[in-house]
Amino acid sequence: MVFMKGISPIRRTTKYLNSTPLVFKPRVKVMTVNFNDQGEQHHEGARDFVFWNLPQIQYKNPDVQIVTFKNMTPSPFITCLLEDTSKVYFDVDSQTNKEIVDRLVKTLGKTKQVLEQEAIESEAKSNPANFCRRLGFDRHCICEMPGQVPCPSIVPVPRHWRGKWWNSGHRWEE
């Protein structure tokens, strides 16, 4: 499998990408990460954050633009731009990637209760293809939809549509 090659292929599995606790609130539009990729010890947490957690954040937040700036700053920091053009700065100097994620979740992430509520609402969406009043859907049978064949119990199906009649060798010539 091609996606399992390279440095840390675990980062490309959907199980790993779904495992982040950080889902941004809808007002977050852009996130920038500034760090140095070599040398200094206090940039280590930001480097690990970009390597391990940034793919997860991109996967869970497809509407957020994420930009990394390397070797442009003496101290690592993260900036989040909100929809009302305000900025939120995070100083991540000498923090681990776990501490950085926890801090982002606490300030700009959705709470667990909100995520659970959204999951319930997405499951409960009414799909017009669902039927069976016993399970709580609007229609008893697919035959209630316009353009569908009526129920065979009400209007008999033509003989040539029945598999039993056709497969037993009966044809129109008879």
The pTM of the whole model exceeds 0.85: no
% of the chain exceeding 90 in pLDDT: 56
What is the distance between the alpha carbons of residues 91 and 41, in angstroms, rounded to a whole number?
Answer: 15
| pLDDT tens digit sequence for 60-101 | 999 999 999 999 999 999 999 999 999 999 999 999 999 999
| Distance between start and end Cα atoms, the chain | 57
Sign of CA dihedral 73, 75, 78, 83: negative
Residue 1 confidence (pLDDT) above 70: no
Domains of the chain: 2-122 (3.40.30.10), 133-167 (no CATH)
